[in-house]
Amino acid sequence: MALAFDEFGRPFIILREQDQKTRLRGIDAQKANIAAGKAVARILRSSLGPKGMDKMLQGPDGDVTITNDGATILEQMDVDNQIAKLMVELSRSQDYEIGDGTTGVVVMAGALLEQAERQLDRGIHPIRIAEGYEMASRVAVEHLERISQKFEFDVNNYEPLVQTCMTTLSSKIVNRCKRSLAEIAVKAVLAVADLERKDVNLDLIKIEGKVGGNLEDTELIYGILVDKDMSHPQMPKQIEDAHIAILTCPFEPPKPKTKHKVDIDTVEKFETLRKQEQQYFDEMVQKCKDVGATLVICQWGFDDEANHLLMHRNLPAVRWVGGVELELIAIATGGRIVPRFQELTSEKLGKAGMVREKSFGTTKERMLYIEHCANSKAVTIFIRGGNKMMIEETKRSIHDALCVARNLIRNKSIVYGGGAAEIACSLAVDAAADKYPGVEQYAIRAFAEALDSVPMALAENSGLQPIETLSAVKSQQLKENIPFYGIDCNDVGTNDMREQNVFETLIGKQQQILLATQVVKMILKIDDVISNSEY
Amino acid sequence: MPIDKIFKDDANEEKGERARMASFIGAMAVADLVKSTLGPKGMDKILQSTGRGHSVTVTNDGATILKSLHIDNPAAKVLVDISKVQDDEVGDGTTSVVVLAGELLREAEKLVTSKIHPMTIIAGYRMAAECARDALLKRVMDNKEDAEKFRSDLMKIAMTTLCSKILSQDKEHFAEMAVDAVFRLKGSTNLEAIQIIKKPGGSLRDSFLDEGFILDKKIGIGQPKRIENAKILVANTAMDTDKVKIYGARVRVDSMTKVAEIEGAEKEKMKDKVNKILAHGINCFVNRQLIYNFPEELFADAGVLAIEHADFEGIERLGLVTGGEIASTFDNPESVKLGHCKLIEEIMIGEDKLIHFSGVAMGQACSIVLRGASHHVLDEAERSLHDALCVLSQTVNDSRVLLGGGWPEMVMAKEVDELARKTAGKKSHAIEAFSRALVAIPTTIADNAGLDSAELVAQLRAEHHNQGCNAGIDVISGAVGDMEERGIYEAFKVKQAVLLSATEAAEMILRVDEIITCAPRRREDRM
């Protein structure tokens, strides 16, 4: 208890304002934490795999999100429990690092916690369990490395990449046209990839969505799409061979940053000021014109007068373009962002083969396509779909697919999906357990059992008999010593994941196991929870 | 062991069956709500807003009804959303899409209670939707080549769309108007060029399409009321006091005389501006912003018609119609493109004076003047006409048409039924259910018209067993009839959008097995 007595029997206070805090200690704390972690994992469990269900989330403002993506579900779930927050964090870090497998990592952690609880009941000390998990995870990661396969592809033969992306997309609502979306994702990644350095800057891939049309209309644009239109309704809607001036200064009279006042006290001053003002606009437009720009893209707004002058001098312009988009345009067109009119030179102009405005549907929404850029390193994926939620979900799915493709370019190793890798690891860990003397052995076995829970959940979600299927696959793997057998989620009739073309990236899997183990270790080490009670 | 609650205080979580029930019920409730507005004999709804004035809307338009509902059920929100998208994308079929999605979910509910997994239902629905679309594609008609026929197709589509609305009395008149207006657009889908002006008074029959352009403004006093061969400068510039835009400039004077001097200079500046504008050789000047009395007087002196405060759309449209550019600086009169029109005059509609530009250079834009007994009637008429225009403009681009009156649904249902018979496995139940959901649409149309739906649909089904049959429900005579003869046509694009978005939405709701509602954001209490 939070109350202690000194040698004279007088109580003294260790925890301030103890009546306002709640406190859980020892085994109770661990049990409570494990229960919370398991509860979160249980929510996600049914979303795992190609036949996983979606969750509908209603946000604080009544907005609705329907998704299957673990990271998104947890992020929007609005959890209050500390341990549950840790799980949310866990899936988020998987999302940042790998981008895919966000559901799997939470399910894995949940299973580890469940096993840990059983070991705790046996009287094994939590630290020993944690250590055992640590050892087991090392074994599993090494084993993954061993069973992984290099897989070959290059820019011309990207079929294997498409297959892998399709595995990722098959668990999402977009699986109706996963083939075309996977191709789009792979082409996009290849377009921006630096194959020499084996790196992909995903910032160069912009994902835009617009409600309307079908999912099939989703397209990849080798260029930039800006959700803006020309500043003046009568400017040309199509510019070929555009030279683009990218400006971050407004077409307005300059505003010096220092405080100042211009006092007008005579008619002459008034007149000169007026002249000056007109001159400003004239000069600005002339400058752009002089360097040979045929399109002006500006981060800020235009004055009405400047707008007309631009139009008048036949210089189309786009205003209020966001900073990120501006940067992308600069990268794509090979131009430089110019902060001042004085610094505008013809070398700093970006070049694009075609700039055009396109309108959609019956509403007056228009978008600006910038295509055939000098430097085609920036691409845009333009998503169409039946409704807003569909588009948001497609965006998330494409993001996952992009991450997978990127990971493959970084590291060409793959393991087989459909639970095959987990089952193989589970076998390896189980075998390794016997070599460890001491209590950790039990923890290691528990780890092996926890690994089984991912294929188990897959089987469950696919409507198969979980225990039967799992044991059948496990014995098959052991008998033939081939780590490619997994759960046949799509009811194709074969357990061989090579034939089904279900891959996952090696680093993704490894990361899942490592992250889940880490979090579980952290949770197991907590033996005291002090929280402010609400009132 | 107490399991701590994971969520925040007011958040709640519904799982599995309960979640599915909640979304089914919500979605079906919304579908049932708009169901009675479907079809030519559909009823209207009165919507009273909670805002100030409790303004009332009477409408039959699915999208408008759903837009104004305050819905808490997340699944119902999905349906509202698809109807909104349908409105944006094709303009019509906003009710049908919701009703179809509702029916699909109703069927799905039955399947779920008979222990079929939602994923199986989804797989079946997908196959069925694909098959239904192919069935439609096989039966489409395309008369794009034949201008005469194409026009009559458009007329029929417009009349079919309008017959379910308030305009059904004069549908021929309005269909004519809508088709004319859309033909003027010459294939563009920019409906902004069609201006709809609502003036209470008269009857709906008095509405007319005007070739020119009507601006709902008055002509300044003392300025010519009628100009022939007008040269128009369309501008967006400040014609009040022209502010100095240089930052931080302010006037500081030390004597009264100086104030007078600066005032004079200001006036001089304005005069300069007016002179520059006049130098364009114009006799009509339209500005988006205010024109103060002083410049207005100057314009009147020069015999130029000055129109102030035309709104942004009006200006853009005027620029489009007359072919002039929207100007903001006036230093180079020789290179500014002026707008032209044959005649500007003031006309009276009801009690209001309007400015009428006729004989304009570009024939793209036109105005439709709607007359009607009350604001409610006019608002509804505008919505109906807008629907018709949207559908027509989409059809001009995608000229494939289908028959109406429940014909497409029956065609699809027949094909889907056949597919169900061929498919092995549990999916066939879902495919069958899909066809039942499709048949629900003609059933609803008949029900709404007070006809014996069971009898009619059964007749229809029998008719459709013959190859190449054109039978549908003729609500007016209350019997099954040949839709081609009755001239009931619908656009293929609308039907396809209805089919695909309804399936997509149903699929989305079916996939959900858990609803998590976050705690509503607390409004800050202002004491």
pLDDT, tens only, B327-368: 777 777 667 777 778 888 888 777 777 888 877 766 666 788
Predicted pLDDT of residue A69: 84
3-state secondary structure of B356: strand
Closest CA to B89 of B508, B509, B495, B507: B495
Contact partners, residue B396, CB within 8 Å, separation at least 6? B154, B182, B183, B185, B187
Q: Does B73 touch chain A (CB under 8 A)?
A: no
Q: Does B78 touch chain A (CB under 8 A)?
A: yes
CA atoms within 13 A on the CB side of B78: 36
Please name the residues between 458 and 477 in chain B that touch chain A, using a CB distance below 8 Å.
none
**Residue from A27, A48, A53 to probe the interface with B (highest B Cβ count within 10 Å):** A53
Nearest CA in chain B to A255: B247
Spatial distance between the Cα atoms of A250 and A60, rounded to a whole number of angstroms: 37
Predicted pLDDT of residue A487: 85
End-to-end CA distance of chain B: 42
Predicted pLDDT of residue B500: 86
Spatial distance between the Cα atoms of B386 and A264, rounded to a whole number of angstroms: 53
Q: Within 10 A of B188 (CB to CB), how many other CB atoms are there?
A: 15
Q: How far is A147 from chain B (nearest CA, A)?
A: 33
Q: Within 10 A of A423 (CB to CB), how many other CB atoms are there?
A: 26
Two structure tokens written together for A298: 């500006």
Please name the residues between 351 and 380 in chain B that touch chain A, using a CB distance below 8 Å.
none
Identify any residues that bridge with A385 across adjacent strands, giving them in sequence order.
A211, A212
- H or E element, residue B198: strand B194-200
| pLDDT range class, residue B527, cuts 50, 70, 90 | very low
CA atoms within 13 A on the CB side of B232: 29
Residue B522 has pLDDT above 80, yes or no: no
Contact (CB, 8 A) for A210 and A360? yes
Spatial distance between the Cα atoms of A76 and B383, rounded to a whole number of angstroms: 38
Predicted pLDDT of residue B312: 66
Q: What is the mean pLDDT of chain B?
A: 81
Two structure tokens written together for A389: 């939620």
Contact partners, residue A461, CB within 8 Å, separation at least 6? A46, A48, A49, A51, A52, A53, A489
Nearest CA in chain A to B72: A62
Query: Any catalytic annotation for residue A505?
Result: no
What does the pLDDT look like over B189-247, one tens digit per residue? 667 777 788 888 888 888 888 777 777 777 766 777 788 888 888 887 777 665 666 66
Across the range B467-494, mean pLDDT stands at 84
**Residue from B509, B516, B523 to probe the interface with A (highest A Cβ count within 10 Å):** B516
3-state secondary structure of A63: coil
Contact partners, residue A484, CB within 8 Å, separation at least 6? A416, A420, A496, A497, A498
Closest CA to A57 of A46, A48, A41, A68: A68
3-state secondary structure of B77: helix
Predicted pLDDT of residue A429: 92
Chain A positions touching B77 (Cβ under 8 A) are: 62, 64
Predicted pLDDT of residue A113: 92
Contact partners, residue B97, CB within 8 Å, separation at least 6? B62, B82, B83, B86, B497, B498, B501, B502, B505
Across the range B288-297, mean pLDDT stands at 78
What does the pLDDT look like over B398-436, one tens digit per residue? 888 888 888 888 889 999 999 999 988 888 999 999 999
Compare CB distances from B335 to A60, A266, A312 and report the shortest one's residue. A312
What does the pLDDT look like over B141-188, one tens digit per residue? 887 777 788 888 888 888 888 887 777 778 888 888 888 888 877 766
| Contact assignment for A36 to B81 by CB distance below 8 Å | no
| Contact assignment for B81 to A264 by CB distance below 8 Å | no
- H or E element, residue A448: helix A440-461
Spatial distance between the Cα atoms of A463 and B361, rounded to a whole number of angstroms: 68
Chain B positions touching A278 (Cβ under 8 A) are: 329, 331
Pairing mode, strands A379-385 and A205-211: parallel
Residue B104 has pLDDT above 90, yes or no: yes
Please name the residues between 192 and 211 in chain B that touch chain A, using a CB distance below 8 Å.
192
Which residue stretches of B114-212 are H helix?
Answer: 118-139, 147-163, 171-185
Spatial distance between the Cα atoms of A293 and A291, rounded to a whole number of angstroms: 6
Rounded to 10 degrees, the C-alpha dihedral A282/A284/A289/A295 comes to -120
Which residue stretches of A54-125 are H helix?
Answer: 70-76, 82-97, 102-121
| Contact assignment for B81 to A389 by CB distance below 8 Å | yes
| Contact assignment for A388 to B2 by CB distance below 8 Å | no
Active site residues of B: 61, 94-95, 387
Two structure tokens written together for A286: 């002339």
| pLDDT range class, residue B9, cuts 50, 70, 90 | low
Contact partners, residue B428, CB within 8 Å, separation at least 6? B124, B420, B421
Compare CB distances from B252 to A60, A263, A362 and report the shortest one's residue. A263
Contact partners, residue B496, CB within 8 Å, separation at least 6? B133, B136
Predicted pLDDT of residue A533: 61
What size, in residues, is chain B?
Answer: 527
Query: Any catalytic annotation for residue A69?
Result: yes
What does the pLDDT look like over B34-52, one tens digit per residue? 888 887 888 888 888 777 7
| Contact assignment for B258 to A363 by CB distance below 8 Å | no
Predicted pLDDT of residue B419: 92
Identify any residues that bridge with A57 across adjacent strands, giving them in sequence order.
A65, B516
| Contact assignment for A58 to B237 by CB distance below 8 Å | no
Spatial distance between the Cα atoms of A205 and B208, rounded to a whole number of angstroms: 51
| Contact assignment for B501 to A387 by CB distance below 8 Å | yes
Predicted pLDDT of residue A18: 59
Which residue stretches of A243-337 are H helix?
Answer: 267-290, 304-312, 323-333
Contact (CB, 8 A) for B132 and B498? no
Pairing mode, strands B194-200 and B366-372: parallel
Full DSSP string of B18-55: HHHHHHHHHHHHHHHHHHTT-STTPPPEEEE-SSTT--
| Contact assignment for B513 to A55 by CB distance below 8 Å | yes
Spatial distance between the Cα atoms of B441 and B444, rounded to a whole number of angstroms: 5
Closest CA to A295 of A235, A338, A343, A345: A235
End-to-end CA distance of chain A: 21
Spatial distance between the Cα atoms of A427 and A520, rounded to a whole number of angstroms: 21
Contact (CB, 8 A) for A490 and A403? no
Contact partners, residue A28, CB within 8 Å, separation at least 6? B1
Residue with structure tokens 């059809």? B395
**A492/B108: higher pLDDT:** B108
- H or E element, residue A241: strand A238-247
Query: Any catalytic annotation for residue A67?
Result: no
Spatial distance between the Cα atoms of B21 and A111, rounded to a whole number of angstroms: 29
Two structure tokens written together for A287: 């400058």
Predicted pLDDT of residue B125: 92
Backbone torsion region of residue B292, taken as left when φ is above 0, otherwise alpha when ψ lies between -120 and 50, otherwise beta: beta
Work out the angle at residue A252's Cα, subtended by the Cα atoms of residues A251 and A254, and round it to the nearest 5 degrees.
120
Looking at residue B193, the DSSP 8-state letter turns out to be G
Spatial distance between the Cα atoms of A125 and A35, rounded to a whole number of angstroms: 18
Two structure tokens written together for A86: 């840790």
| Contact assignment for A252 to B258 by CB distance below 8 Å | no
Compare CB distances from B246 to A215, A234, A277 and report the shortest one's residue. A277
Buried b (16+ CB within 10 A) or exposed e, B482-493: bbeebebbbbbb
Contact (CB, 8 A) for A440 and A502? no
> What are the residue ranges in chain A where pLDDT is below 70?
1-3, 13-21, 213, 254-259, 361-364, 376, 386, 533-535
| pLDDT range class, residue B2, cuts 50, 70, 90 | very low
Work out the angle at residue B76's Cα, subtended by the Cα atoms of residues B72 and B80, and round it to the nearest 5 degrees.
105
| Contact assignment for A362 to B89 by CB distance below 8 Å | yes
